[in-house]
Amino acid sequence: MKAIALLGGPKSEWPTNLQAHLRQKRADYFLIGVDRGALHLIEMGLVPDICVGDFDSLTEQELSLLESKCAEIRYSTPIKDLTDSELMLQTALIDYQVDSLRIYGATGGRLDHMLVNLFTFLKPEFRQYAEQVELVDRNNTVQYLLPGSHEIADRGSKYFGVAVLSSADKLSITGAKYELAPTDVLVPTVYGSNEFLAQASCQIAFETGLVAIIYSAD
């Protein structure tokens, strides 16, 4: 089962065609609304299969609307071990065992929220699911890679960046405009503004750590 989640980040960072994209083939995926993202889905005429959050930014009327529409709501508490988006990940990846999860609404607005989302897959309980997830916004798609040798393909954006999120042993980039010979990367580091060549794919390899590939358009 494929899943799509909408977090509460500002609409200005959504891909331009998000509503049309979500309405298409609605039966094909499991839909999760997180916090204000759940309300945004309702406003787009889409009923989430499940809603997750503490909903503290919603008015009473807005929360009532959600509760009247959605069959299942999971409430997090303000003092909690899991953030709202982590509760969403647990719900989707562990409880519902979805095969893939695309997340919208994770960027823009509050930077602490965005970084929480970006760093989540460094946590031992979520790390194993990293490769099933992607974050998508107006300009970027983020894909996670676990150690190994990977071929990544051009997705139509001009640039890509390789973000080492903690550390990585023997990271290499081969077959791209800017190559990297095997390098031990000791702290979070971004090799940005790289480009695919004519063959439209390249190889990323590393032995330890977690890497995010960021496909970006200007």
Compose the 121-160 pattern: x for residues touching a copy of itself by CB under 8 A, - for all others: -xx-------------x-xx-x----------------xx
**What radius of gyration, in Å, describes the C-alpha atoms of the chain?**
18
Tell me: does residue 185 bind a copy of itself (CB under 8 A): no
Q: Which two tokens stand for residue 60?
A: 């009473």
Applying CB under 8 A, which of residues 28, 60, 99, 218 lies at the interface with a copy of itself? 218
Backbone angles phi, psi at 98, to 5 degrees: -70, 155
83: helix, strand or coil: coil
Tell me: does residue 113 bind a copy of itself (CB under 8 A): yes
How many angstroms separate the CA atoms of 70 and 211, rounded?
36
Q: Are 176 and 199 in contact (CB under 8 A)?
A: no
Backbone angles phi, psi at 201, to 5 degrees: -150, 165
> Minimum distance from CB of 50 to a copy of itself (Å)?
22
Tell me: does residue 81 bind a copy of itself (CB under 8 A): no
Closer residue to a copy of itself (CB): 38 or 142: 142
Q: Are 196 and 160 in contact (CB under 8 A)?
A: yes
Binding footprint of a copy of itself on the chain (CB under 8 A): 12-13, 57, 79, 83, 107-113, 115-116, 119, 122-123, 137, 139-140, 142, 159-161, 163, 165-166, 178, 187-190, 192-193, 214, 216-218
